[in-house]
Chain A
């Protein structure tokens, strides 16, 4: 009887531990979604404890970094090729930015000064590396991984900085509701937008004629003029606008987390058409060969024409939070909680290969 009670007591403790452990966002489930980068022959992506390099043709693994998983280190930001493809920048949830050899995955250097997760991939330009961190700071490094300057905002940075040719500066958006234009050489503020009304978690895009487009959690897509630094137009979405708006000629593709996909006029912000195929949209669409591909968290890849005619709504195993990425005649998908970490589809939707999690 006593023994039974002890066993019962241990079982209760175990159940409580599991109940609590299942909800803490520790290593039990993924806490981000995969980022993908492609060059001519190789696809690089991050998911969970590793960044991977695969052969684009057949999905065969070339290497993984780190070779063995390190406890509590996760990678979700897309790896970035830099320094004439001699470095691959891999930003981790362990607050470390790694430079690895793109050929064999060996580590070149690591940058340790940040204090929180890297959610966004870094930006690599001729001026150096710019890495936004959840500790509210943007770090500028040279290609040896040495800190050049640090720019601090009020809230975490989940969006990558972007380079503007027109301004000769980099733009960084923050969860603090602002867009910052920063001098890449010294980290000084060039200008700062007005309060844009809500947190911004994804990088803006810039049109050739200097319109900066961004999505906010205040249910808005906003266009800012680079020259006047003023809001040019605002478009109201039905829910949080999470994904970066994508410019395609005179059209802008935007979306919200309730699953509405909008096409707007670039210069006026007027709605041209919208579709709601079902499921939340958290990532930008891919525009390839006259088709627009976007993914939803209800496990479907939606393909529409640039005029808004639905071509197909293709079920995919797993949740699709990440953007589809074009690679020649293939479309790459990185589903979460799925049989495959990475799937290559033909443009007609047939699976060419799938990369399963390594055992």
Chain B
């Protein structure tokens, strides 16, 4: 089942690769954008659920409830479920579409790596997936200065700079910040800490992956980050205020 799914993705990617003049870099970008478009209904649902949840959690009703049941976990949970039901919000509404997308993202990634077969075993594995693509082999894995099957470095003034990894880090940071709600009165300490950890660690983690693995993966990360940012901007849900780090309020500091 999984293999059939990967085969489908590989063959679609090879179709695009052939269609656009055998440029695998552009094939990755176009394929990533196409996959994002196809999965857009799920993303939209996730965004909608997420927004509804954010609105609810910053409402007075929610904060009052948190305060009222702060020493009664069971009562709090019960009351939360009642409010979810009343407002028609599913607590998993923002998670489920994400879970459905996860195999698609992993599949897309595997399709990219498997198609970039640069060793005999990789080519053996690829041969088991493709239906009619023998003449496309070897895949042209050069894209601008990059060899897409290898980790990327661009020599600048004698220093090998991981340009793609830096771009992955920046776009991951922007994307994570853009979709993170501004801290409201209803934020609980645990949730805020978790969110902070995510926004701090995740871009570095993604950057590390991009620096270590094949640059085709880094290109995919950048394309998917930019596609996500574009989706949030187009739907008016981008949170630009969060992108720049919050500066201390100097007038307040002076008063202290």
* A residues in contact (CB < 8 Å) with B: 1-2, 5-6, 9, 13, 17, 19-21, 23-26, 29-33, 76, 93, 117, 119, 134, 155-156, 158, 175, 197-199, 201, 217-219, 240, 257, 280, 282, 297, 321, 336
Contact = CB atoms under 8 A, between A and B. Distances in A.
14 contacts: A2-B189, A5-B190, A5-B194, A23-B109, A23-B110, A25-B113, A25-B118, A26-B213, A32-B119, A76-B120, A158-B120, A198-B134, A201-B123, A257-B124
Contact of A321 (B120, B190, B201, B214): B120
B194 A119 contact: no
B148 to A, nearest CB: 12
Given A13-B201, A199-B137, A297-B124, A23 B194 contact: no
B122 interface: yes
Contacts of A20: 109, 209, 213, 217
Given A9-B198, A17-B209, A199 B121 contact: no
A30 B110 contact: no
B131 to A, nearest CB: 11
Interface of B: 106, 109-110, 113-114, 118-124, 127, 134-135, 137-138, 189-190, 193-194, 197-198, 201, 205, 209, 213-214, 217
B138 A217 contact: no
Given A25-B122, A32-B119, A282-B120, 11 more contacts: A1-B190, A5-B190, A9-B201, A23-B110, A24-B113, A25-B119, A158-B120, A175-B138, A197-B135, A201-B123, A217-B134
Most chain A Cβ neighbours within 10 Å, of B110, B134, B193, B194? B134
Nearest to A239: B127
B121 A21 contact: no
4 smallest A-B Cβ distances: which pairs? A31-B119, A217-B134, A32-B120, A175-B138
Nearest to B134: A217
Contact of B134 (A1, A17, A240, A336): A240
Contacts of A30: 121
Question: What DSSP secondary structure best describes chain A's contact surface?
Answer: loop
A117 B118 contact: yes
Nearest to A4: B190
B135 A24 contact: no
A6 B209 CA distance: 20
Contacts of A198: 134-135
Q: Considering residues A23, A76, A199, A280, which has the most beta carbons from chain B within 10 angstroms of its beta carbon?
A: A23
A23 B193 contact: no
Given A9-B197, A24-B214, A134 B118 contact: yes
A280 B214 contact: no
Contacts of A19: 106
Contacts of B122: 25, 31
A199 to B, nearest CB: 5
Contact of B119 (A1, A21, A93): A93
A112 to B, nearest CB: 17
A155 B124 CA distance: 18
Contacts of B113: 23-25
Interface centre among B118, B119, B194 (most CB of A within 10 A): B119
B190 A156 contact: no
A21 B120 contact: no
A65 B198 CA distance: 45
Nearest to B197: A9
A6 B197 contact: yes
A93 B122 CA distance: 14
A80 to B, nearest CB: 18
A266 B81 CA distance: 79
Contacts of B214: 24
Contacts of B194: 2, 5-6, 9
Contacts of B135: 197-199, 217-218
Contacts of B119: 25, 31-32, 93, 117, 119
A17 B113 CA distance: 15
A21 B106 CA distance: 12
Given A19-B106, A20-B109, A321-B124, A156 B138 contact: yes
Contacts of B134: 198-199, 217-219, 240
A17 B180 CA distance: 23
A155 B127 contact: no
B57 to A, nearest CB: 17
Contacts of A93: 119
Nearest to B122: A25
